[in-house]
Amino acid sequence: HSLTCPSTDQMEESRSCLVCSKSILSIHLGIDICRACASFFKRAKKTGKVYPCRQGTGKCQISRESKFTCRRCRFDQCVSVGAVYDGPMRVRANPPAPHLERIEKEFKLMIKRRRIREEEFMKSFPHNVKIPHPKETIYVMSAVSSVDLYLITSEESMTFIDKVFPVLNRLSAPDKDSLCKDYIVKLHIIVSYYLTQKLFGDLDKKMMSSVVTCYDTEIPFDYYYPEDKGNKEFFER
């Protein structure tokens, strides 16, 4: 049997990009990848961009026919087949994640809105008692005032959720309500702990119950719940 070596033309016709499978006639970056994939890889290396995976699996199919190729998987495939770029690199500072920036911005705005609304309510609330503080106006919480303040908390928390997670508006009303009710309670606990640490430094004697009201263990329990005797011994410990 005789072996027939393929011609140069046949070899060129059979070569394809190791990344997207496109037919190629020449190599780029020292390996068999097409000009488009080589340019994409060099551009990604120069800018230092980190792309997210479209499907989140890291296993997207890379094809020249696809109009929406996953850039993360395309880049990873370039690396896996041996693509290397040693040219000049652009120095990039690590930018903050856009979504984290939005959360921080909307969180501060939520606290600001709550403070305005809560202070307005507490000023009109009879028998309010202030707790001395060098910077902020803080009132002693009470069972009566806490009901109205929680309504403010719920409304402003929902505004915060809508602005930070607009995708939740795609849920049905019952599903969104169920999810947000659980979330609002957790957010309230986080805000309470955050404000207590910020305003008092610890949770030894005081705990913020809202943005402008505080539970103070040094104030007699009867002030908070004058009619409730059932749990009095626990709070007096």
What span, in angstroms and rounded, lies between the C-alpha atoms of 69 and 54?
9
Lowest mean pLDDT among 13-22, 188-197, 207-216: 13-22
Sketch the domain layout of the chain as residue ranges. Answer: 8-80, 98-235
Looking at residues 126-151, what average pLDDT do you find?
87
Structure-token match 């006639």, residue found:
25
Q: What is the pLDDT of residue 141?
A: 87
Residue 146, C-beta contacts closer than 8 angstroms, at least 6 positions apart: 209, 210, 213
- For residue range 193-206, what is the model confidence (pLDDT) as tens digits? 999 999 988 778 88
- Decide if 51 contacts 76 (C-beta within 8 A): no
What span, in angstroms and rounded, lies between the C-alpha atoms of 139 and 143?
13
Instruction: Answer whether residue 211 shows pLDDT above 90.
Output: yes
What span, in angstroms and rounded, lies between the C-alpha atoms of 80 and 122?
63
Q: Which CATH superfamily does the domain covering 8-80 fall into?
A: Erythroid Transcription Factor GATA-1, subunit A (3.30.50.10)
- Decide if 118 contacts 154 (C-beta within 8 A): no
Cross-strand bridge partners of residue 131 = 138
Q: Residue 110 CB: number of other CB atoms within 10 A?
A: 21
Q: What is the pLDDT of residue 237?
A: 42
Higher pLDDT, 159 or 12: 159
What span, in angstroms and rounded, lies between the C-alpha atoms of 75 and 45?
9
- For residue range 40-84, what is the model confidence (pLDDT) as tens digits? 999 888 888 888 888 888 888 887 777 678 889 999 998 988 888
Q: Quick one: angle between helices 143-164 and 98-124, nearest 10?
A: 150
Higher pLDDT, 123 or 95: 123
Alpha-carbon distances of 86 from 83, 138, 162, 196, rounded to whole Å: 10, 60, 45, 52
- For residue range 139-163, what is the model confidence (pLDDT) as tens digits? 988 888 888 999 999 999 999 988 8
Looking at residues 2-18, what average pLDDT do you find?
59
